[in-house]
């Protein structure tokens, strides 16, 4: 499977990427389905740059921050 820049731009709009940018996309042989693996729940650098760290719950950024 070849990924073009337009594919990458589309993915950027579909997925909320954790600050460390660690998510994977796996497609079956026919490319008919995709599974997304996201970064584990943990404290990461705050992508909003409001605080030093923000908690990623495994699916989305929370309102919990730490300085």
- Under 8 Å CB-to-CB from 37, ≥6 apart: which residues? 23, 24, 26
- Structure confidence by residue, pLDDT tens digits, 11-41: 444 455 666 666 655 555 555 444 556 789 9
- Report pLDDT for 56: 94
Q: Dihedrals φ, ψ of 43, to 5°?
A: -85, 135
Count Cβ atoms below 10 Å from residue 47 Cβ, excluding itself.
Answer: 15
Q: What is the mean pLDDT of residues 48-61?
A: 94
| CA distance between the termini of the chain | 42
Where in the chain are the domains?
5-66
Q: What is the mean pLDDT of residues 43-47?
A: 95
Which run of H or of E encompasses 11?
Answer: helix 5-14
Q: What is the mean pLDDT of residues 45-54?
A: 95
- Distance CA(28)–CA(40), nearest Å, equals 23
Q: For residue 10, is pLDDT > 50?
A: no
């Amino acid at each position: 499977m070849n990924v073009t820049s337009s594919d990458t731009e589309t993915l950027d709009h579909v997925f909320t990427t954790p600050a460390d940018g660690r998510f994977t996309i796996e497609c079956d042989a026919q490319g008919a389905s995709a599974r997304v693996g996201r970064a584990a729940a943990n404290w990461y650098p705050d992508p909003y740059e409001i605080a030093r760290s923000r908690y990623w719950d495994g699916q989305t950024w929370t309102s919990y921050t730490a300085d």
